Amino acid sequence: MILKIEKRRAFEHLPGMLLAALGGERPSGVMIARGDLAVECGYERLAEVQEEILWLCQAAHVPVIWATQVLDQLAKTGRPSRAEITDAAMGVHAECVMLNKGPQIVQAISVLDDILRRMDRHHRKQRSTLSQLHASEYVHTDPSPTTVGAPQVDQAP
């Protein structure tokens, strides 16, 4: 199931929609439909809204599709704009980037692959190198009186 976020209302209700989707039995993801979202939220706020969606999805461990006009001029004409290249590079923050059709789509795929490979090296550099914490897996089982004041947690089944 893909939650397509293209309206301001969908953006505002994304936390609740993510919780509902995560509670279901099917895997889910989020598509940032940036064209419609820019119209709805205002072009000057699009970068901020995209970033918030990415943060929410990262916190929920939900994959994101970066969509709408990525390398669109390149796919149509064979020549990208500078803004398109930068925009495509931001797709490294998502798990998937969607390209639209065009006569130069094969070139667009190759360029996108090259951009994302190079950006991935920088993106990994910015991540924490610490291993995942497992604090939530800790279960206290010692009921002895020496642990006065410590919260008692029943052992998980």
Residue 72 identity (one-letter amino acid):
D
Q: Quote the longest CA-to-CA distance of the chain.
A: 75
Question: How far apart are alpha carbons 41 and 6 in whole angstroms?
Answer: 9
CATH of the domain at 33: 3.20.20.60
For residues 29 and 3, is the Cβ–Cβ distance under 8 A?
A: yes
> pTM score > 0.85 for this model?
no
In a domain, 107, yes or no: yes
Instruction: List pLDDT tens digits, range 64-86.
Output: 999 989 999 999 999 999 999 99
Q: What is the mean pLDDT of the chain?
A: 84
SS3 assignment, position 27: coil
Q: Give the structural domain span for 114.
A: 2-128
Instruction: List pLDDT tens digits, range 17-52.
Output: 999 998 888 889 999 998 889 998 899 999 999 999
User: How many domains does the chain divide into?
Assistant: 1
